[in-house]
Chains A and B, each alone.
Chain A
Amino acid sequence: QVQLQESGPGLVKPSQTLSLTCTVSGGSISSGSYYWSWIRQPAGKGLEWIGRIYTSGSTNYNPSLKSRVTISVDTSKNQFSLKLSSVTAADTAVYYCARERQQLVLFYFDYWGQGTLVTVSS
């Protein structure tokens, strides 16, 4: 059973960089046709896809966040990471990591981490 676990600071100051790591267990991050994504959800609001990475290192980002987002992968540690720069209060949210399964041209998020709340405040 694949499990994902987010980790990182729960409080980030405005203008600084938010950094989170997702550790994957129960399977290799390098195996299969999977992408690894970050998704966030402000309190009481909907879900916003941030971006994803393939184990080759290829990335795709939400155009609205692209200038501030970097996603990387460390296959030796079975982890992938998110960096979001120049944060503001609007970036306060629960951040989820998720596995995105590819079946031919179909893509869907089949495993999710439990989520971690990141608050941007001075």
Chain B
Amino acid sequence: DIQMTQSPSSLSASVGDRVTITCRASQSISSYLNWYQQKPGKAPKLLIYAASSLQSGVPSRFSGSGSGTDFTLTISSLQPEDFATYYCQQSYSTPRGFTFGPGTKVDIK
């Protein structure tokens, strides 16, 4: 099974900060990596697919990079609506299954 880890597990940041979240896979997953944002009481929302492709309607301050085992999600200038939990998810092992990372909570400093 492919295991996903994320770091940090939580971070505090201020509006306008540049924020970087890291996701690591236990084996190479090429670019089969997606990122989601989840706010309390809401469903996750797709931000990035295929490691670096921005989902339609998602602000350009969000970007993704990486391939193989190491990936990053960057928010170039944190906005008040960006305080949320972010999850990475691998789709390399389709159809045997998908796995999500444990999440990174971004809160207000």
- Residues of A whose CB lies within 8 Å of any CB of B are 46-49, 52, 60-63, 96, 98, 103, 105-110, 112-115
Contacts and interface: CB of A to CB of B under 8 A. Distances in A.
A69 to B, nearest CB: 12
A114 B43 contact: yes
Given A108-B49, A112-B45, A114-B43, A62 B97 contact: yes
B34 A108 contact: yes
A62 B99 CA distance: 9
B96 A63 contact: yes
Contacts of A109: 34, 36, 44, 46, 89
A61 B94 CA distance: 10
A105 B103 CA distance: 25
30 contacts: A46-B100, A46-B102, A47-B44, A47-B87, A47-B103, A49-B99, A52-B95, A60-B95, A60-B97, A61-B97, A63-B96, A96-B43, A106-B32, A106-B91, A107-B32, A107-B91, A107-B98, A108-B34, A108-B50, A108-B91, A109-B34, A109-B36, A109-B46, A110-B49, A110-B55, A112-B43, A113-B43, A114-B42, A114-B43, A115-B43
Interface of B: 1, 32, 34, 36, 42-46, 49-50, 55, 87, 89, 91, 94-103
Given A106-B49, A108-B91, A109-B34, A47 B100 contact: yes
A52 B98 CA distance: 10
Contact of A46 (B45, B91, B103): B103
A106 B50 contact: yes
Contacts of B95: 52, 60
Contacts of B55: 110
A112 B103 CA distance: 18
Given A47-B87, A60-B94, 12 more contacts: A46-B102, A47-B103, A60-B96, A63-B96, A96-B43, A107-B32, A107-B91, A108-B46, A108-B50, A108-B89, A112-B44, A114-B43
A107 B93 CA distance: 10
A19 B34 CA distance: 29
